[in-house]
Amino acid sequence: MDVRLYLAQRISAALMLPLVAVHILVVLYAVGEGLTAAEILARTRGSLYWALFYGLFVAAAAIHAAIGVRSVAREWTPLRGRTLDYGAIGFGVILALLGARAVAAVVL
């Protein structure tokens, strides 16, 4: 794997360690309280902290997932070269856009 991709994969992973841990705790807490749209949105709407938290999370996850899927596709499928690279970039961009939209939906 390209050294830059390897580093981006590891840095995004290290960044997400605390983010995922907090996310799992929030999931466990929220589901125990009875998951409702009102409860979720009351927590997130207008919150700069959650906006930053999930904004960073989405960016790191989009990079991490795109590189991860590229690595697996390279080993387990015949995809190579540009098809592989553009496919991975496309997947990362779609994740980033959908993720940004989701963050906007719950914090704005």
**Closer Cβ to another protein, 42 or 80, answer by number:** 42
Q: Between residue 21 and residue 60, which ones bind another protein under the rule CB under 8 A? A: 21, 23-24, 27-28, 31-32, 35-38, 40-41, 58
Minimum separation from the CB atom of position 80 to another protein (A) = 19
CB 106 within 8 A of CB 45: yes
Residues 100, 108, 53, 67: what is their CA dihedral angle, to the nearest 10 degrees? 0
Please identify, using beta-carbon distances, which residue of 21 and 52 lies nearer to another protein.
21
Q: Which is nearer to another protein, 20 or 79 (CB)?
A: 20
The DSSP string of 12-80 is HHHHHHHHHHHHHHHHHHHHHT---HHHHHHHHTT-HHHHHHHHHHHHHHHHHHHHHHHHHHHHHSS--
Question: Which residues in this chain contact another protein in the complex, by CB under 8 A?
Answer: 10, 13-14, 16-17, 20-21, 23-24, 27-28, 31-32, 35-38, 40-41, 58, 61, 65, 68-69, 72, 91, 94-95, 98-99, 101-106
